[in-house]
Amino acid sequence: MNLIEAFNDLLILKKILDGLSVTFWLDCGTALGAYRQNAFISHDIDIDIGVLGEDDKKIPEIVKALQKESLNYLHVKEHPCGRGKQISGILGTIPFDIYFYYKRGDERMRLFFDESNGKTNYIPCIFPSRLFEKFERIDFMDYGVEFNLPSPVDKFLECNYGDWRTPQKNFHWQTDFKCMDMGYKICE
């Protein structure tokens, strides 16, 4: 992944989401790289953003704003019951995902859409909702632009990866996230 192009695309996503007053944070591998090494992970292939599920009503506005950019692909994914949405796209040559986190009780659920093998598998990831009540700010890549990370960041990364301090080159998103809960009932 071209790191300069990735950062510029991240700035486009930030401009769009800030312009629509959408609270967002760096998510998944983007959050991990930002916190662990203040850079994108060298073998990562995309940009990951998290958004509160309450803002899913702004998806049409987000899509409209994205369509004004150098967009090469855009797809809005949604679980059949409406809980669990994701915007995936490619700005220039860099893929991105915007995940929506839905609150239920004291938890928030992010849904992955695994579209391999000709069918869609829904992979719920569960987090304590307290991680999204306030955010820490990081000057990502020391370019003078701050981004949100869930707080405390180390607990958020631990929920995702377990031992997040040790780089793992063979990480598989379909199976290795520690927050996955295949028994979670998405539609309750």
Q: Examine residue 173 and state whether it is found in any structural domain, yes or no.
A: no
Q: What is the CATH number of the domain that holds 78?
A: 3.30.460
The residue segments making up the domain with residue 64 are 3-161
Q: What confidence tier does 89 reach under pLDDT thresholds 50, 70, 90?
A: very high
Residue 170 or residue 61, greater confidence: 61
Report the pLDDT value the prediction gives residue 168, as an integer from 0 to 100.
86
Q: Examine residue 174 and state whether it is found in any structural domain, yes or no.
A: no
Residue 170 in this model has a pLDDT that exceeds 90: no
Q: Examine residue 150 and state whether it is found in any structural domain, yes or no.
A: yes
Find the farthest-apart pair of alpha carbons in the chain and give their distance in angstroms, rounded: 43
Report the pLDDT value the prediction gives residue 180, as an integer from 0 to 100.
95
Q: Examine residue 17 and state whether it is found in any structural domain, yes or no.
A: yes
Q: Examine residue 169 and state whether it is found in any structural domain, yes or no.
A: no
Q: Examine residue 184 and state whether it is found in any structural domain, yes or no.
A: no
**pLDDT of 40-85, one tens digit each?**
998 899 999 999 999 999 999 999 999 999 888 999 999 999 889 9
Residue 10 in this model has a pLDDT that exceeds 90: yes
**pLDDT of 117-132, one tens digit each?**
889 999 999 999 999 9
The 8 Å CB, 24+ separation contacts for 145-149 are 145/11, 145/14, 147/10, 147/14, 147/25, 147/26, 147/34, 148/23, 148/24, 148/25, 148/26, 149/25, 149/26, 149/31, 149/34, 149/35
Q: Examine residue 179 and state whether it is found in any structural domain, yes or no.
A: no
Alpha-carbon distance of 66 to 12, in angstroms, equals 9
Q: Examine residue 172 and state whether it is found in any structural domain, yes or no.
A: no
Tally of domains in the chain: 1
Q: What is the pTM of this model?
A: 0.96
Q: What confidence tier does 135 reach under pLDDT thresholds 50, 70, 90?
A: very high
Residue 24 in this model has a pLDDT that exceeds 90: yes
Report the pLDDT value the prediction gives residue 188, as an integer from 0 to 100.
78
Question: In the predicted model, what is the mean pLDDT of the chain?
Answer: 95
